[in-house]
Amino acid sequence: MTPARAVRPTPGPGGSRAPVLAARCPPRSPRASSPPGLGRLRSIHIVALGNEGDAFHQDSRPSGLIRAYLGRSPLVSGDESSLLLSASGAAARPVFTEYQASAFGNVKLVVHDCPVWDIFDSDWYTSRNLIGGADIIVIKYNVNDKFSFHEVKDNYIPVIKRALNSVPVIIAAVGTRQNEELPCTCPLCTSDRGSCVSTTEGIQLAKELGATYLELHSLDDFYIGKYFGGVLEYFMIQALNQKTSEKMKRRKMSNSFHGIRPPQLEQPEKMPVLKAEASHYNADLNNLLFCCQCVDVVFYSPDLKEVAEAHKIVLCAVSHVFMLLFSVKSPADIQDSSIIQTTQDLFTINRDPAFPGASQESPGNPPLRVIVKDAFFCSCLSDILRFIYSGAFQWEELEDDIRKKLKDSGDVSNVIEKVKCILKTPGKFNCLRNCKTYQARKPLWFYNTSLKFFLNKPMLADVVFEIQGTTVPAHRAILVARCEVMAAMFNGNYMEAKSVLIPVYGVSKETFLSFLEYLYTDSCCPAGIFQAMCLLICAEMYQVSRLQHICELFIITQLQSMPSRELASMNLDIVDLLKKAKFHHSDCLSTWLLHFIATNYLIFSQKPEFQDLSVEERSFVEKHRWPSTVYLKQLAEYRKYIHSRKCRCLVM
């Protein structure tokens, strides 16, 4: 049931009063076109109750709100009236006036207009059936007949409320209140409490019925056609839409067969979820500082005491100062005087054979000796290196560590500024001026000079892999930090620990370069499913589990994104992919591939490699196949039934 709507009269053009709908009033119905979906003849039943008076026509011709609307509305045509007498037949005048017309061109409109309320007392059965079968109810009264209004409100409105069944109701207050030039627009005003029915009383009645309240000051073209007609036509369209919806539901129910029903296709089983392994890239590089493996640079204090050990590749990955110090770049490449000056002021390289402790160094490839000139910087060097190896972004921790060693705040600021100069990007202002803004950012090698800069380049390389007749330079420190197999190979009693040239078998150069790219950058992007499978095999060979998970996710994502037509025409042997995944201990991928084959059973069962499945795998696929054998059998029976009845199939 629609909520109550209120209308307030306001002066219109030429002194007439034009109604103003409240904000929740139904929108104006289109008068130039029919409602959608009126393909067949349907009917709308309107019941109008009440007497709006006869103050607007002094002659003897019939008049009234309903007849005026039917005669003037451009959407209604062909109206004719007949009389329905009460059951007793003793009434001197007709109880109901029935109007039959056509609305919207092809919709039958039946209106029962009852000006006398006595029908509810004399023939309750007829009145109840009319109200129960109504699509729209219109209650009308004259604003100058307050006695009749209260009689109806007290005696008959409760009866109507019990008979209503979610039917829209329109309450029309007809007429201009006597001895009142301009009705008050305040709903709380009591200025019209005399012999007239006030606006407040009409609105209250509308709220009780959940109705739409209208005030019609005259039965002219404006009030009848555009105002009352617009609201009535809106509810007519709503009634037609509701009937259409109910008819479609009944049609769907009636179209179901009484014989064999179409089989229901169940949903395929959910594919196994593969969880990605968290990255430990930062922890690997940070642990490299403490394990003291593959050290190639040693820092000394001004008095030639050993302070810390480090790795050139990591230092150069975050700082152009160390690139310049270790001759990775020249001053002409840097072209930044502040970086060049910082390098000269902080560090110097000692190559003197008579250096204390030089005789104990490894004769093959001794670490480079670097002397730190600044004593304060040197005292904090271990904390600075830990800061760099952790990603060069934990500034607050670095400041706290430096303050513990340097009591003077000026010395602390001086050391911090030197660290900023070390991490500066050439040609730019010091973007690290506000350290706290970098606290939540990623490690510096993700957005500065990345380790990828040294991938497959001879700069600082201390090992060379020989693959398919070509060589690939690399850096032991990164390999040891990121791969446990490499760490054991370079630090154990193996030939590779003392050899510079190391042959690699069973892997192509492209696959091995992708493997190294992951070790250096913690990311990789295979060219396709075949390349991802080769990279997965390489990762299993060197026991890099996270790279295996990345390759598995890539293969799964690629297969899931393929449409059925592409799956049917692709040359990739899915069964061979399954066997490789099992052989190389990729349990997650092999389980997923079995489910994938079962879910796309109709495609893969037609391929010749389907016969290569083992007995166990074949049994799993047959058990979890989609669509199931039961469904296909039911579908075949249903098709046979449809063809035998020469009916149209509702499924296919």
In which band, very low, low, confident or very high, does the pLDDT at 306 lie, cut at 50, 70 and 90?
very high
CA proximity to 369, closest of 385, 352, 381: 352
CA distances from 549 to 403, 517, 543, 596 (A): 43, 16, 12, 18
Please determine whether the domains at 290-353+365-423 and 448-548 fall in the same fold group of CATH: yes
Lowest model confidence (mean pLDDT) among 113-122, 263-272, 386-395, 405-414: 113-122
The chain-wide mean pLDDT, for the chain, equals 80
Report the C-alpha gap between 49 and 143 in whole angstroms: 15
Element (H, E) at 149: helix 146-155
Long-range residue pairs from 368-371, CB within 8 A, at least 24 positions apart, any chain? 368/296, 368/297, 368/298, 368/312, 368/326, 369/298, 369/300, 370/297, 370/298, 370/299, 370/300, 370/325, 371/299, 371/300, 371/301, 371/302, 371/304, 371/347
pLDDT in tens, 8-29: 333 333 333 333 333 333 444 4
pLDDT at 124 over 90: no
* Chain mean position to CA 419: 44
Average pLDDT over residues 608-616: 94
> What's the rounded Cα separation, in Å, for the pair 194 and 192?
6
Residue 162 is predicted with a pLDDT of 77
Domain residue ranges in the chain:
42-54+62-78+95-178+195-244, 290-353+365-423, 448-548, 562-651
Indicate the pLDDT class of residue 438, thresholds 50, 70 and 90: very low
Q: Which long-range contacts (CB under 8 A, 24 or more apart) does 256-261 make?
A: 259/641, 259/645, 260/637, 260/638, 260/641, 261/638
Cis bond upstream, residue 356 (ω within 30): no
For 384, residues 6+ apart whose C-beta sits below 8 A from its C-beta are 377, 398, 415, 419
| Cα 10 to Cα 14, 25, 352, distances in angstroms | 12, 16, 105
561 phi/psi in degrees, rounded to 5: -80, -10
CA distance 465 to 511: 13
CATH class of 448-548: alpha beta
Number of other residues whose CB lies within 10 A of the CB of residue 71: 13
- Cα separation of 257 and 649, whole Å? 11
Helices 409-422/381-389 angle, 10° precision? 40
The helix-helix angle for 229-255 and 65-72 (nearest 10°) equals: 80
Give the other-Cβ count within 10 Å of 85's Cβ.
13
- Rounded Cα gap, residues 324 and 337, in angstroms: 12
Top-confidence residue, 415 or 39: 415
Closest CA to 105 of 46, 39, 48: 39
Query: Token pair 């830990």 is at which residue?
Result: 386
Identify whether the C-beta of residue 293 lies closer than 8 Å to the C-beta of residue 491. yes
Q: What angle do CA 194, 200, 202 make, to 5 degrees?
A: 95
Question: How would you classify the pairing of strands 297-300 and 306-310?
Answer: antiparallel
129 pLDDT higher than 50: yes
Q: What is the pLDDT of residues 556-582, one digit of tens each?
A: 999 999 999 999 998 889 999 999 999
Q: Within its chain, how far is the Cα of 430 from the centroid?
A: 40
Please report the pLDDT score of residue 228 as a whole number: 87
Reference 380, options 350, 352, 405; nearest CA is 405
| Residue 133 pLDDT class (50, 70, 90 cuts) | confident
**Tens digit of each residue's pLDDT (9 = 90 or more) over 383-418:** 999 998 887 678 888 999 999 999 898 999 999 999
Number of residues that make up the chain: 652
Rounded CA-CA distance 60/68 in Å is 15
Helix axes 509-521, 529-541, angle to 10 degrees: 70
In the chain, the percentage of residues whose pLDDT exceeds 90 is: 37
Pick 315 or 644 by higher pLDDT: 315
Identify the pLDDT of residue 504: 94
Does 544 score more than 80 pLDDT?
Answer: yes
Q: Could you say which DSSP state residue 5 is in?
A: B
Give the model's pLDDT for residue 182.
52
Looking at the predicted structure, is the pLDDT value of residue 111 above 70?
yes
Contacts of 647 (CB under 8 A, 6+ apart): none
Of residues 194 and 395, which shows the higher confidence score? 395
| pLDDT given at position 293 | 85
pLDDT digits (tens, 9 = 90+) for 337-387: 899 999 999 999 988 877 766 545 554 578 999 999 999 999 999 999 999
Region of residue 270 (left: phi > 0; alpha: psi -120 to 50; beta: else) = beta
Rounded Cα distance, 565 and 20, in Å: 61
Q: In the prediction, which pLDDT does 60 show?
A: 38
Give the chain's count of helices (H) and strands (E).
Answer: 28, 16
Label residue 11 exposed, middle or buried (CB < 10 Å: 0-12, 13-18, 19+).
exposed
What's the pLDDT at 277? 85
pLDDT band for position 336 (cuts 50, 70, 90):
confident
For residue 420, what are its two tokens? 């900023």
Other residues' Cβ atoms within 10 Å of the Cβ of residue 495: 8
CATH 1.10.3470 fits 290-353+365-423, yes or no: no
Q: What are 259's two structure tokens?
A: 């014989």
Average pLDDT over residues 543-564: 94
Residue 21 has what pLDDT?
36
Partners of 369 in beta bridges: 298, 350
Mean pLDDT of 307-332: 92
- In terms of Cβ atoms closer than 10 Å to its own Cβ (0-12, 13-18, 19+), residue 488 is middle
Query: What b-and-e string marks burial along 132-152, b requiring 16 or more CB atoms within 10 Å of the CB?
Result: eebbbbbbbbbbbbbebbeeb
pLDDT at 7 over 80: no
Mean pLDDT of 76-88: 44
pLDDT tens, position by position, 197-250 = 888 998 999 898 888 998 888 888 788 877 888 888 888 888 888 888 888 877
CATH number listed for the domain at residues 42-54+62-78+95-178+195-244: 3.40.50.300
Q: Which pTM does this prediction carry? A: 0.59
Position 224 scores a pLDDT of: 84
Cα separation, 223 vs 215, in Å, equals: 9
Provide the pLDDT for residue 4: 40
Better-predicted residue by pLDDT, 551 or 356: 551
Query: Could you count the other beta carbons within 10 Å of the beta carbon of residue 361?
Result: 13
What tens digit of pLDDT does each residue of 586-596 get?
999 999 999 99
Residue 192 near residue 176 (C-beta atoms within 8 A): no
DSSP state of 496: G
Spatial separation of the C-alpha atoms in residues 597 and 217, rounded to whole Å = 76
Q: CA geometry: angle at 226 spanning 225 and 232, to 5°?
A: 80
Task: Please report the pLDDT score of residue 51 as a whole number.
Answer: 84
User: What letter represents residue 377's amino acid?
Assistant: F
Query: 331-345, 429-443, 448-462, 528-542: lowest mean pLDDT where?
Result: 429-443
**Coil/strand/helix, residue 163:** helix
Q: Is the pLDDT of residue 254 over 70?
A: no
